[in-house]
Chains A and B, each alone.
Chain A
Amino acid sequence: MTELFLSVSLLLLVTMTAGLIRVVIGPTSADRMMAAQLLGTSGIGALLLLAPALGLPALVDVALIFALLAAVAVAAFTRRRVGVNRLETETR
């Protein structure tokens, strides 16, 4: 099973690399944020697969940190408002 886990985690790394294309060409910033979210989830899956394959149970804790940071990143991204910045430039 170690070989299967390693190969699927390699497959997830390949999909992460392909998802970087959307980060580059994404027309809006929401597309880039979605690609970053998919990158984070793929990284979590790869870490979960590597934990039994390499015999490192601490990688699950690293995956937990990834999940927490991805949630905070998306919430912080959607709180950014252009209208606030526009108001600042008008009053300046």
Chain B
Amino acid sequence: MDALTDFVIPQVAWHAISAILVLAGGFFFVAGTVGLLRLPDLFSRLHALTKADNLGLGLIMLGLLPFVPDVFYGAKLVLLWLLVMVSGATGAHLIAKRAVRGDGEDPQ
């Protein structure tokens, strides 16, 4: 922790913010898994999955940012989250389009 940021915001506050963010991310992952197991439709399950992907991982990443050793490490975390968001949105659209057309189901 840098001395300047330690002067502006004390370290206990950083730890509290990080703990809240990481716990919120874990909550979103639990909610996404429960939604994937309990929701009745494929599209509603897709909705629960994308929420867990974007928000859960984003909150965990934000909670880890106060503990990065250098800037490069933090930039790698942010880029990882952006990659997961882009690939999750693309995958959700592809799966939804395939399900709407109904052309990808296994032959009976």
Contacts and interface: CB of A to CB of B under 8 A. Distances in A.
Interface in B15-70: 15, 18-19, 22-23, 25-26, 29-30, 32-34, 36-37, 42, 45-46, 49, 52-53, 56-57, 60-61, 64, 67, 69
A49 to B, nearest CB: 7
B46 A8 contact: no
A8 B57 contact: no
B19 A82 contact: no
Contact of B104 (A8, A38, A82): A82
A74 B99 contact: no
Tell me if B's interface is mostly helix, strand, loop or mixed: helix
Question: Which of B32, B60, B73 is the most central at the interface, judged by chain A CB atoms within 10 Å of its CB?
Answer: B60
B4 to A, nearest CB: 21
Contact of A8 (B22, B37, B61): B22
A19 B33 contact: yes
Contact of B98 (A4, A30, A45): A30
Contacts of B80: 44, 48, 60, 63-64, 67
Given A18-B34, A49-B60, 8 more contacts: A4-B19, A22-B45, A29-B104, A30-B99, A38-B53, A44-B84, A52-B67, A70-B84
